[in-house]
Structure 1
C-alpha cells in the first residue's frame, strides 16, 4: 500500500535521499526544505529524475507561516527529520545557541507534530509520526552534548507519545541513525569555532579539535549514507515493525555497551 509522506529537512543528506527513495517506491512525497534556494535545487533534482509523485515546498521550522502551511497539507505519515547541530563544550557554549538547537530540533518538531496529530484525530486519520532521532539519543560523547541533549529529548517525547496515541490508532516510531557521512556531524563540530576563543574560553580550540577528531576521524564514524537511506525507505511506510531502530547493527552494539558502561561509571 502506498502512502502520502511529508519529510522535513529534505533539502540534503538523509532526508533528501529518503524522499527520493520513497518516491521511487511509488509513495506520494512532500519533500520540504528550509530555504527557497534549497527548494529550487531539490525541485531541479526531482525534475531531472522525472519523479512525478514528489512535491517540494519550503518549511523553515522556525517560521510560523511555514509550519501552519505544512500542517494543512494532505499526508498520513509525518517524518520529523529536520535538525541542526550546535557543538562545543557544554560548560561554555553560549546559551543562545543551546536554545536555538532546542527550538529547531525539539520545540518546532513538537509544534508541527501537535498540529498534524490534532488534524488526524479530528478527521479520524490513523497516521504515523516518524522521528529521525540518532544514536546520540542514547549516548552522549564529549563536545557534542547540546545536540545529544536535543536527541535525548526527542527520544523521550516519542516514547511518551506512543503510549498516549494508541487509543487513536496513530503510530509513533523512531529511527536512530549511526554516524553516517553526510557532512552533518562535521558541520556541527565546525560551528563551534565561530565562538570558541582561546582568549575567552578555558577550553582551548586545540583541545576541542583533538577531542572531536578522536570522535569523528575514523572509518566507523563515516558510514555510507546510502545504507541508512535504504533502511529509512524500508521502515517509514510500514504499519508494523519496531518502535526504535538503531542502524547499523554495529552502532546498536555501541549503544548497548555504552549503557552498560554507564551503570558502572564513577565520579
Structure 2
C-alpha cells in the first residue's frame, strides 16, 4: 500500500461518499467525512463506532454552502480533497425555473471551486504536495434529454478540472475526476423525482407522464441501476494513488459508450 493519506471527503453522508469514507478508513487512511446536516453526523458516527473505525474516520458537519462550515474545514491539514458533494436538478432545460438552475451550479460548481482555490493556495504557500479529486459523472461527457442542467454542471466541472490540472502541476498538486455510470445510490432516482415538485401539466409544455417515461427509459434498466459497490471500490483505489489517469470512468462499458458518443457528435445534424 502507498503511504497513508489524510483525506477530506464532502458529501459523505450517503452513497458514494459514505462508502468511500468507510473503505478508505479501513485501508488505514485518515479520513474526515464531511456531511451536510447534523442528523447525518450522528448516523455516520454510529456506523463508525460499530465498525471500530474511530481512530481513522472522523465525521464533521460540512455543508459546502455554509460559510462557517467551510471556514472551519479550511483549518484542517489534509493531503487530498475529495470533492464529492453535489445535487441534481432534472427536467426540461427550456422550462426549468432559473433559481433551480442557479442552485445546481452553486452546489456542484461554484462552491467546490471556491474550496479548491483555498486549499490550493494553502498548499502552495506551505510548499506542500496536494491532490484534488472531483466526483464528476458520465454526464460530464454527454447530455441526455431531461438531465441537461445537472450534466451541464458536470461539464463545467470537467473544464475546471482540466484547466486546474495544467495550472497547478508546477506546484506539485494533482487533479483528477471520477465519472460514475448510473449506479443505484438513490441519487439519480431522487433527481428524477425532483422536477415533479414544480411541473404543472396545465402550465408546462412538457407533460409529467412523458418526462417520467423518459426517466424510466434511462434509469429503469440494468444499465441504469448498477451495483454501487463497484464504484465505491474504484474510488477507494483511485483517490489515494499518486499515479493514475486524469479522467476515470467506471464501468468500462460506459467509457466505451462515451467514446462512441463523442465520435458520433461530429456527425450530429440539426
The normalised TM-score by structure 2 is 0.98
Contiguous gaps of at least 5 residues in structure 2: none
1:3-14 superposed matches below 5 A: 3-14=5-16
After superposing on structure 2, the runs of 4+ consecutive aligned residues of structure 1 that deviate more than 4 Å are none
Matched, 1:132 2:135: yes
Corresponding residue for residue 90 of structure 1 = 93
Distance apart, 1:263 and its partner CA: 1.0
Matched, 1:198 2:201: yes
Distance apart, 1:74 and its partner CA: 1.3
Q: Distance in 2 between matches of 1:221 and 1:257?
A: 18
Corresponding residue for residue 45 of structure 1 = 47
Q: Distance in 2 between matches of 1:254 and 1:147?
A: 19
1:160-171 superposed matches below 5 A: 160-171=163-174
Corresponding residue for residue 148 of structure 1 = 151
Q: Distance in 2 between matches of 1:259 and 1:196?
A: 32
Q: Distance in 2 between matches of 1:210 and 1:5?
A: 40
Q: Distance in 1 between matches of 2:214 and 2:227?
A: 23
Q: Distance in 2 between matches of 1:155 and 1:70?
A: 24
Corresponding residue for residue 116 of structure 1 = 119
Q: Distance in 2 between matches of 1:146 and 1:44?
A: 36
Q: Distance in 1 between matches of 2:107 and 2:74?
A: 16
Distance apart, 1:261 and its partner CA: 1.7
Matched, 1:218 2:221: yes
Q: Distance in 2 between matches of 1:262 and 1:221?
A: 22
Corresponding residue for residue 175 of structure 1 = 178
After superposition, give the CA deviation of every residue in 1:158-179 in whole Å (9 maximum; x if it has no partner): 0000000011000001111111
Q: 240, 252, 255: which is aligned to 1:252?
A: 255
SS in 1 for 2:32: strand
Distance apart, 1:61 and its partner CA: 1.2
Distance apart, 1:260 and its partner CA: 1.5
Task: Give me the CA root mean square deviation.
Answer: 0.6
SS in 2 for 1:125: coil
The normalised TM-score by structure 1 is 0.99
Matched, 1:232 2:220: no
Q: 72, 97, 102: which is aligned to 1:99?
A: 102
Distance apart, 1:115 and its partner CA: 0.9
Q: Distance in 1 between matches of 2:169 and 2:267?
A: 36
SS in 1 for 2:249: strand
